[in-house]
Structures are given as structure tokens and as C-alpha cells.
Amino acid sequence: MKNKITLLPVIMAGGSGSRLWPLSRNDYPKQFLRLCSPITMLQETINRLEGLDCEDPIIICNQKHKYIVKEQLLSFKIKHSAILLEPVGRNTAPAIGLAAFEAMGQKGDVLLLVLSADHLIKNIECFHKAVNKSLKFALDNYLVTFGVTPTRAETCYGYIRKGALIDRSAYQISSFVEKPDQDKAESFFKSDDYLWNSGMFLFKASCYLRELKRYRPDIYHSCMFAINNKNIDGDFISIAHERFIQCPSESIDYAVMEKTDNAVVMPLASEWSDVGNFPSLWENSIKDCNNNYVDSNVFTSDVYDSYIVTDKKIVAALGFNNMIIVNTADALLVAHKDHCVKIKELITEFERLGRKELFYNKVKFDSWGRKEVINDDIYNINKYIINAGMKLSDVTKEKSKYWVVIHGEGVVELNGSIKKLRRSDSMRIDRYSKFIVQSIQTSNFEFLEIEI
């Protein structure tokens, strides 16, 4: 290969992770959580690229998550090529289409390494080897998907049946298989013919767009129009809402991979998980001598094989096994591991009832920092964190606000007057007042707000 290969990672950070409710919410889904390591799943996915000869990644996420993504990139000083903002989720085929068009515009016909932001891959060396072995196939215009060597009979994953061996490393794809029942999963595991469908890909941007146009021209043209009418605002690339909202919702497997005759599968021999449910999260967490994963505020006796986490409150657990207990500020989940599949039924019922706990998260991110809701019942108590050098501009509505500074220094402009605030200072903001508050130090400016 005489010419330098340009490998551009595309990190798909959409999705709601609803099967991990109440940890994962629509407003703050699992890819942005610290679940199995000290860093978030998005940060871990990007860290996994270290050691590969690749460009800074493109991140694709929902419009409402843009400041979460930006903060998580900034906090670890992670470089990126762009943050693509989808106005609505339309599954993986359109998302990758947007990234392919954007990549073609930025860098030409590069190789796209498409990864999900919410996967765990234990053996990074094996992952890098699989990617590097796949480069020649992608350069030869194949669409490469990565198939994980099964470690057990698993009913929660789709499978890929291997076809003929190609060049001693990849395989033709005989068929894609939907999530099997237990008997079929057992037979797949005993056979050497099946791999787990990981949902990771490598191909030229032009090759994917060619196949997308061939099999789903409606998706192709929706993505092209949306990118051609994009809006760039700093790190963010916003997609044209009026056309993209009409785009069909379709996975890349259904739209392209199951139809094309130009796809191959590359085996990946590493422990892998999409952390799609609580049993999977428990399995991939570091456990104690009783095979439990518990928070520091959890106290147990005669408890085994369980996952117990709590948000600040103490949890005492006695005499059970194989349980999932998740205690958050506004919701409590208690479930046997074998019944976690029914969480989807709960989510459907919550949607029918319009329960805010399904969507709502106590932390709201914005360009200036974040707001943490402490109490929102009879009266509202919020904690504001204004990032260093940033400012918040707003207008109070029907309630007055009382502020108490707890960290840093800031300047408040209110009704034409300017006041400097530091720790322990307080002030009142009357109803229907316009104000601007700015952090003036190298550290954050934090204050409590009470609305009455």
C-alpha cells in the first residue's frame, strides 16, 4: 500500500439505552454513563482508538445530547473532527449515511471505521489486529463487518453465519440471523460457523454510499439533502430538520448489509458486550467475594450474584441472590435477573402514562455548563455550575430566585447594575428580571438557586 490510508472513526452515540432504566434515561442515556470503568462508555470507545493510525473521530449524536458530548470530550481533551447532530433518531443506516457524506466533504473518500459508543471490548490488541487485517478488504471495496467469536450461547445478540474463507482471514457472509431462542443459540455456540453480529463496520465512504443508493435511494437522498443544507456552529454540525425528519428509520443491516453481495465478516476474538441489559452490566462489572457488584453506600448480608447501586441513600440488603436493585433520586428498580427482559414492558407503560421519569434526568447540560435539579416538588432547588469563562443569560418568569454562592467567583449583571459574588454571598432575582451571570476565574462558578 503505497498511499497513506486515511482511517476515519465514526462513533455512533445515539440511542436511549432504555433497558438500563432508571440508570439510563432518554435525556442522559447509557453511552454517557460510567458503568464498567472510571470513564464513560463514549470516552472509553474513543480511548480504544489509541494505537490505531487514524484521524480524529466524527461523533454522531442527538441534538439534545450535544452539550453532554462536548463536555465529555473537553474533560478528557479528546480531539474530534466533527460532532454531527441528528434532529431525530433514524437508526444506523441514515446516521452512517450522514457521516459518509460529511467525511467525503471534509477529507475525500476515506475509510470509515464505524463504532458504537456503548460497547465494551476487553482485548484492545485483538480489536486493533482485526481492524488492521480488515483494511485491505475495505480498500478492495468490500463492506467489512466485525463478527465476535461467541463465548456462550447468547439469545440477546444477532448472529452472522460464515461463508467461504477469503484470503485466510475474512469470510463471505452466508446469512444474518435474528436473535435466536435458547435451543438455536446452543447449536450456534457448538458450531464453528456463527459469529455474534457486533454492529461495527469498516468500508470506504464511497462504497457505503454506493450500496445505500442502490438499495435504499430514499435514505441516500434524504442524507444527501440534509448534509447539503447543514448548519455549522463551532464544533457542531446541525442537520437540516425538514428533510431528515422524513427519512425512513432503518438499520444498516436491513438497508444494506443483508442485501449487498459485496460484504465480508472479520472475526474478532475478544470478550465483547453491548451492555444491553442489567444481567450484562452485572456480568461485566468488577464483583466482590460474593459475586455482587455494589456501591459504597450498599450494605449486604447473605446476598449473592446481585447488582445493587444507589444514588446517595444507604441501601441495606439481606438474604437473596440474582437480584438487580437500582436506587436513584426519583426512581427505584427491584428485579430478579431473569425478569429484566420485562423492563421494556415497563417502559412502554411509562410512555403510555407520560411519566417524566422515563425521559427526565436531574442534570441538564448547556453551552455554559450544567444545572442539577435537587428538588422540584413544591419548591425548586437547583445547583448551577457555570464553566470557567462562560456566561448564562436568562429571564426569570413567575417566580423569584434566591442565590447562594458555594464555589468560585462570578459577576452578575441585573437591571443595569453589576455585582461581584464569591463563596457565601447571596442575592435575590425578582420576577421577570433579565440577568447575565459569568464565571470570572479559571475554575467553575457554582451557586444554589431556590425558586419561591
Grid coordinates belonging to 406: 458555594
Region 324-352: mean pLDDT is 94
When computed from its CA atoms, the radius of gyration of the chain, rounded to whole angstroms, is 24
- Assess whether pLDDT exceeds 90 at residue 268: yes
Cα 59 to chain centroid distance, Å, stands at: 10
Q: What whole-number distance in Å separates Cα of residue 176 and Cα of residue 445? A: 53
Q: Residue range 328-350: average pLDDT? A: 93
In words, the CATH class of domain 7-273 is alpha beta
Mean pLDDT along residues 360-381? 87
Boundaries of every domain in the chain: 7-273, 278-357, 363-451
Question: What is the tens place of the pLDDT at every residue in 110-131?
Answer: 999 999 999 999 999 999 999 9
Q: What is the DSSP letter of 217?
A: H
> Poorest-confidence range of 146-150, 187-191, 214-218, 243-247?
243-247
How many of the other CB atoms lie within 10 Å of CB of 143? 23
Q: Which helix (H) or strand (E) holds 291?
A: none
Whether the pLDDT of residue 3 is over 70: the answer is no
CATH of 363-451, one of 2.60.120.10, 2.160.10.10, 2.40.160.20, 3.30.465.10: 2.60.120.10
Position 221 scores a pLDDT of 97
What angle, rounded to 10 degrees, do the helices at 217-228 and 92-107 form? 50
**Nearest partner of 119 among 206, 198, 51, judged by Cα:** 198
* The predicted structure's pLDDT at residue 135: 98
Q: How far is residue 441 from each of residues 24, 293, 386, 394, 426, measured CA to CA in Å?
A: 33, 40, 11, 21, 18
- pLDDT bucket at 1, cuts 50 / 70 / 90: very low
430 three-state secondary structure: coil
| Residue 113: closest CA among 198, 239, 225, 211 | 198
Q: What is the pLDDT of residue 379?
A: 83
Give the pLDDT of residue 377: 74
